[in-house]
Structure 1
Amino acid sequence: MCGIHAVLSATAHDASPEVKRCLCNRGPDYLGHVERRVGDSSWTLNFTSTVLALRGDHVARQPLVDPDSGSVLCWNGEAWRIDGCRVDGNDGEAILGLLVKASASPAAERWDAILDIFRAVEGPFAFVYYDKPAEALYFARDRLGRRSLMIAQDATSGTLILSSIAEACDPKWKEVEPDGIYILGLDQTRSDSTSETRARLPVRQEWIAGGEADIVSGLEFWPSIGIFNKSLPSITSPLTLVSPSVGMLRQQLVDSLSIRVLGVPKPPSADTTCNTRVAVLFSGGLDCTVLARLAHELLDADQAIDLLNVAFENPRVVAQLKKDGHDELTDFYEACPDRMTGRKSHAELQNVCPGRTLRFVAVNVPYSETLAHRQQVISLIYPHNTEMDLSIGYALYFAARGQGFCSDSPAVETRQVPYASPARVLLSGLGADELFGGYSRHPSAFFRASYAGLIDELLLDVGRLGKRNLGRDDRAMSHWGKEVRFPYLDERLVRWAIETPAWEKCDFENGEDVTGVEAGKRVLRLLALELGMENVAKEKKRAIQFGARTAKMESGRVKGTTPIS
């Protein structure tokens, strides 16, 4: 995980101290700066990068620079594979090496050679690349939008800023769409006077090259990953434990988790007695608990897994409980829905993961602390600016911080000790609902229009993941020097999921009677059963803002779509 800030301008423009502070929060291991003049003009490019070192045996200092050509790469991501091959060592350095080779291509082939490198990357990323010899600036977020990249451009001066975070809550700041790779040609940048200077508008290049895009055009094709299966069944069989898709999902998740949890370096802040490198954002629900269970099978036995469970003091709920006659000393945190579910799932995990230290971290957030961090969270989630965005942002922000009270026992009565998780890699279950039909609107769509309606709803949900959630979530959680990894959003798993028929993922046609677990996300629920977690398999879906009680803190009447005041 890294912080990126790049400015193209005709006048001096560097990142402000506040922006640098936020960038350093994302990447606490190194801060670097590089400046380049654009051709023989007065225009300059200023690059600032910060680094959270999780790949290779050294801190790869950014911005990465090719000393021969002067080209510059700001890389924020994880290239798990390039052109199908696993990447060992530092991935940013590997990509820069490929880019330098591509830059040696004939002029007519240069752009395509560079684009093909980024098209071949599997993993989450955002980047800014300055090809100095060709005077071209490339930038993008990955196909799924798992990393944040913001853009602001001044139409009058031509100044363009690209950054992991917005410099201010200003309408000029937008998220770079994860719909392709953008190229800004700088060879025609004019420098005769500031008032007449214009930067050309970025040109979007498809994630799929040339004629291949024409072959797979249409809504069925989704971010250059695969063809969405829209076939309708002539006859279906109930989805059960012996259905092939259950075993296939297990293998897909194991493969995805392997590259995300193995080889994580020991955090520099961890003491010699602590061997915790990975934590799970843990509500106790189905998606995250399955990840914790499978991570247990992959990690060395001496590595602990932290389960980060967040609960908030919601003054509206507390007032109601007191009004109903509850003692003022009632532990309102333990009464949060996600806290109760988390305790139960922790107990079930311990039964099926013998010998593993599973540390339940109770992240309790007083209302006063929520208010103290309110403006910081608002600035991080921007341009998302509704009450629902803020509620979700609060939960992710404080959960990622990982400060609370812990015990190895699921019992509430066990002595709780203050604890700050040293893990710098966090696992999130995001994506499972969209891929496998976990929202309440999915059965509604099925009963309204059968499989055709369900498929349209699934296609809609998957297609807007990057735009609706992931940039916001990345900014909220990375603020603590943590990297969030999304095993359900591995490209290969997503390809398998969208190419799998809907009735092999959820089973609204047969209801609950066949297997004892609900129809939504049934393939994942059956996997939980196979892994020995019956209670987890039956756990109902609950939105994080309600489970952690961040929603409607002041008024029960405010709508989630209401803009933040």
Structure 2
Amino acid sequence: MCGIHVSLSPSPQPISPHLETCLCNRGPDFLGKERRTVSNGWSLSFTSTVLALRGDHVTKQPLTHPASGSVLCWNGEAWQIGGRQVERNDGEAILDLLVTASALPCALEGVLEILRAIEGPFAFVYYDGVTKSLFFGRDRLGRRSLMFRPGDVPGALTLSSISESCDPSWKEVEADGIYCLDCSTNSQSARHDWLPDGRDDCISSIGSFNTSLPSSKSVLTSSSLVVGALEEQLLKSLRLRVLNIPNPPPLDVSSSTKVAILFSGGLDCTVLARLVHELLDQDQGVDLINVAFENPRVIAQLEKDAGGKPVNFYEACPDRITGRKSLAELEMVCPGRRFRFLAVNVPYSETLAHRDQVISLIHPHNTEMDLSIAHALYFAARGQGIISVKDTNLGTQDEPYTSQARVLLSGLGADELFGGYGRHAVAFSRLGYPGLVDQLLLDVSRLSKRNLGRDDRVMAHWGKEARFPYLDECLVRWAMETPAWEKCDFENGEDISGVEAGKRILRLLALELGMGGVAKEKKRAIQFGARTAKMESGRVKGTNVIS
């Protein structure tokens, strides 16, 4: 995870101290700056901050190639380039390939070919010193943030991981292709599709969606081959995301906990925790971060129901209840693994104290729902809370704990891929499999339009990198190619498999992994599970603009 800020202007534009501090929050390991003057006399100013999570050293950014004058600001993870896994620092590998491509007769196509070959979450800005072109963009699913703002004079442009203010001129760069600007003429940026042939049937430029319908009644059970295939896909995705994470510099001792999971206790995140156990060495701990908020509106009702008696409202939060129950099941099926259940309790006063900061980070998103979700992710990523420690003399004691893990795993994406939302059941009840297929296709096609840029800005503020195993390109491609009835099974009741139809493939995998309770957990939105929604009034709508 890194911070990027690039400005193209008639004269050098210094970055504001406030924005530089925010970028350093994203990348606390290194701050670097570069400057280039293009042929028309305009100035390109580059600022990068680094959170070192790849390779055996802190790679300084912006990455430069002195001979050509090229500069790369890279924020992300290139798991593979052209189908080959990247073993060294990915930013350095990408710059080498881009510089080589720039020297070819068809430099533009060569650069585009390299960028199109990258698989992983990323945002980037690349200045080609040979062609005087500025390339920028976000990956196909938009998992990393990149924003832009036109300058005060025609042709001027600022690109940044985060906005300098809630100025409405700041917009998110769309995750729909690679943008290119000729710096010598400052012409309007051109967009190049992620796929060179611009195929219309390729969703998010990743793969084609299987719209076929079953020719006869089908039943999805634990013995279905597709359940084992999903496990293989998830393990492949997780290997990339949890193995070989370096120790935070400048520490030279082995950290026992490098991975944390955003943990509501629900199906998606608990399956990830269970499979992470299969991959990590036994001596490595895993932090399970569970957030609960002091919600005045809900507390008033709880105390009323309790006849005025004190209520432990944090422990009464739905996600706290589910989280502790799922933890118990994990500990039973994963003996010897040190799962730390980190209870993050957020007082209402602290929510208010950080409100302006969160609003600034989520900009240009500005609804009550955006704020509710962002509050939960923001405090979860901070990773400060309480863990229970067993003492042979004193019994179980609560102690303050701050997670040192810099990699956060999220279960986001599973509902869209495998039919976990209530609207999927409604679509099937109305129109059968044709309606379900249409709804799944719509949801998958909107993955790149999701609020991943917003979430990136909120969580990266604490020097953490969110990783989304369900949104690995290979897994998404496989899920799109899998027919609907092999992912969710609304045609058959629970009596056949023992679990509900929504995301049945994932529920059956949980059963196979020994977690019967987790397999039956209901879907619950984070803002309701952590109780960040409607803190003052139950009449507030999620679509309302933040006041």
Q: Name the TM-score, length of structure 2 as normaliser.
A: 0.97
- Indicate the residue corresponding to 1:26 in structure 2: 26
Cα deviation for residue 155 of structure 1 reads 6.6
Q: Equivalences for 1:137-216 in 2 at 5 Å?
A: 137-154=134-151, 156-188=153-185, 199-209=186-196, 212-213=197-198, 216=199
Shift of the 97–318 alpha-carbon distance from structure 1 to 2, 3 Å rule, reads same
Return the alpha-carbon distance in structure 2 between the equivalents of residues 236 and 14 of structure 1: 65
Decide which moves more: 87-96 or 227-236.
227-236
Q: Deviations over 1:268-310 (max 9, x none)?
A: 4879685100000000000000000000000000000000000
Decide which moves more: 321-330 or 383-392.
321-330
Q: Deviations over 1:99-136 (max 9, x none)?
A: 11111101xx1111001111101100000000012010
Q: Secondary structure at the match of 2:314?
A: coil
Return the alpha-carbon distance in structure 2 between the equivalents of residues 61 and 270 of structure 1: 18
Retained in 1: the 8 A contact 2:29–2:249? no
What one-letter code is carried by the residue in structure 2 that aligns with 1:282?
A: F
- 1:394 is aligned, of 345, 358, 375, to 375
Cα deviation for residue 203 of structure 1 reads 0.5
Cα deviation for residue 508 of structure 1 reads 0.5
Q: What is the Cα-based RMSD across aligned positions, in Å?
A: 1.4
Alignment pair present for 1:247 and 2:228: yes
Decide which moves more: 533-542 or 258-267.
258-267
Shift of the 324–273 alpha-carbon distance from structure 1 to 2, 3 Å rule, reads farther
Decide which moves more: 507-516 or 348-357.
507-516
Retained in 1: the 8 A contact 2:69–2:129? yes
Q: Secondary structure at the match of 2:405?
A: coil
Retained in 1: the 8 A contact 2:124–2:136? yes
What one-letter code is carried by the residue in structure 1 that aligns with 2:340?
A: R
Cα deviation for residue 331 of structure 1 reads 1.4
Return the alpha-carbon distance in structure 1 between the equivalents of residues 101 and 355 of structure 2: 45
Retained in 1: the 8 A contact 2:103–2:130? no
Decide which moves more: 261-270 or 20-29.
261-270
What one-letter code is carried by the residue in structure 2 that aligns with 1:390?
A: L
Retained in 2: the 8 A contact 1:269–1:422? no
What one-letter code is carried by the residue in structure 1 that aligns with 2:166?
A: C
Retained in 1: the 8 A contact 2:303–2:310? no
Q: Secondary structure at the match of 1:360?
A: strand
Q: Secondary structure at the match of 1:45?
A: strand
Return the alpha-carbon distance in structure 2 between the equivalents of residues 563 and 155 of structure 1: 27
What one-letter code is carried by the residue in structure 2 that aligns with 1:228?
A: F
Q: Deviations over 1:456-494 (max 9, x none)?
A: 111221222232221011011110000110000000000
Shift of the 227–369 alpha-carbon distance from structure 1 to 2, 3 Å rule, reads same
Return the alpha-carbon distance in structure 2 between the equivalents of residues 104 and 269 of structure 1: 37
Alignment pair present for 1:433 and 2:415: yes
Cα deviation for residue 330 of structure 1 reads 2.1
- Indicate the residue corresponding to 2:219 in structure 1: 238
Q: Deviations over 1:387-429 (max 9, x none)?
A: 00000000000001110001267xxx93211000000001000
What one-letter code is carried by the residue in structure 1 that aligns with 2:367?
A: T
What one-letter code is carried by the residue in structure 2 that aligns with 1:473?
A: D
Q: Deviations over 1:26-69 (max 9, x none)?
A: 00000001011111x23100000000001111110000000111
What one-letter code is carried by the residue in structure 1 that aligns with 2:544?
A: T
Q: Secondary structure at the match of 1:384?
A: coil
- 2:127 is aligned, of 130, 151, 167, to 130
Alignment pair present for 1:457 and 2:442: no
Return the alpha-carbon distance in structure 2 between the equivalents of residues 488 and 299 of structure 1: 18
Retained in 2: the 8 A contact 1:9–1:159? yes
Return the alpha-carbon distance in structure 1 between the equivalents of residues 238 and 174 of structure 2: 27
Cα deviation for residue 323 of structure 1 reads 2.6
- 1:226 is aligned, of 196, 204, 207, to 207
Cα deviation for residue 329 of structure 1 reads 3.8
Retained in 1: the 8 A contact 2:389–2:397? no
Identity %: 68
What one-letter code is carried by the residue in structure 1 that aligns with 2:127?
A: Y
Alignment pair present for 1:17 and 2:17: yes
- Indicate the residue corresponding to 1:192 in structure 2: none
Cα deviation for residue 18 of structure 1 reads 1.0
- Indicate the residue corresponding to 1:419 in structure 2: 401
Return the alpha-carbon distance in structure 2 between the equivalents of residues 414 and 75 of structure 1: 45
Q: Secondary structure at the match of 1:280?
A: strand
- Indicate the residue corresponding to 1:306 in structure 2: 287
Alignment pair present for 1:277 and 2:296: no
Return the alpha-carbon distance in structure 2 between the equivalents of residues 230 and 167 of structure 1: 44
Q: Secondary structure at the match of 2:387?
A: strand
Return the alpha-carbon distance in structure 2 between the equivalents of residues 207 and 528 of structure 1: 35
- Indicate the residue corresponding to 2:358 in structure 1: 377
Q: Secondary structure at the match of 1:513?
A: helix
Return the alpha-carbon distance in structure 1 between the equivalents of residues 430 and 151 of structure 2: 47
- Indicate the residue corresponding to 2:514 in structure 1: 532
Cα deviation for residue 335 of structure 1 reads 0.4
Return the alpha-carbon distance in structure 2 between the equivalents of residues 408 and 536 of structure 1: 24
Retained in 1: the 8 A contact 2:247–2:254? no
Shift of the 65–564 alpha-carbon distance from structure 1 to 2, 3 Å rule, reads same
Shift of the 335–540 alpha-carbon distance from structure 1 to 2, 3 Å rule, reads same
Q: Equivalences for 1:266-415 in 2 at 5 Å?
A: 266-268=247-249, 275-325=256-306, 329-407=310-388, 414-415=396-397
Cα deviation for residue 97 of structure 1 reads 0.5
Cα deviation for residue 236 of structure 1 reads 3.3
Q: Secondary structure at the match of 1:509?
A: coil
- Indicate the residue corresponding to 2:484 in structure 1: 502
Retained in 1: the 8 A contact 2:488–2:505? yes
What one-letter code is carried by the residue in structure 2 that aligns with 1:140?
A: G
Which ranges of structure 2 fall in alignment gaps of 5 or more residues?
A: none
What one-letter code is carried by the residue in structure 2 that aligns with 1:414?
A: T
Return the alpha-carbon distance in structure 1 between the equivalents of residues 5 and 214 of structure 2: 49
Cα deviation for residue 13 of structure 1 reads 1.5
- Indicate the residue corresponding to 1:69 in structure 2: 68
Decide which moves more: 449-458 or 301-310.
449-458
Q: Deviations over 1:359-378 (max 9, x none)?
A: 00000000000000000100
Return the alpha-carbon distance in structure 1 between the equivalents of residues 28 and 254 of structure 2: 23
Return the alpha-carbon distance in structure 2 between the equivalents of residues 85 and 142 of structure 1: 17
Return the alpha-carbon distance in structure 2 between the equivalents of residues 447 and 365 of structure 1: 40
Q: Secondary structure at the match of 1:161?
A: strand
What one-letter code is carried by the residue in structure 2 that aligns with 1:3?
A: G
- 1:467 is aligned, of 432, 445, 449, to 449
- Indicate the residue corresponding to 2:98 in structure 1: 99
Retained in 1: the 8 A contact 2:222–2:512? yes
- 1:114 is aligned, of 111, 130, 138, to 111
Q: Name the TM-score, length of structure 1 as normaliser.
A: 0.94
What one-letter code is carried by the residue in structure 1 that aligns with 2:350?
A: E
Retained in 2: the 8 A contact 1:357–1:408? no
Retained in 1: the 8 A contact 2:55–2:88? yes
Q: How many residues align?
A: 543
- Indicate the residue corresponding to 2:56 in structure 1: 57
Alignment pair present for 1:86 and 2:61: no
Cα deviation for residue 232 of structure 1 reads 1.4
Retained in 2: the 8 A contact 1:400–1:482? yes
Retained in 1: the 8 A contact 2:295–2:531? yes
Q: Deviations over 1:173-207 (max 9, x none)?
A: 1111110000011222xxxxxxxxxx321100000
Return the alpha-carbon distance in structure 1 between the equivalents of residues 309 and 14 of structure 2: 51
- Indicate the residue corresponding to 1:516 in structure 2: 498
Return the alpha-carbon distance in structure 1 between the equivalents of residues 250 and 358 of structure 2: 25
Return the alpha-carbon distance in structure 2 between the equivalents of residues 352 and 400 of structure 1: 27
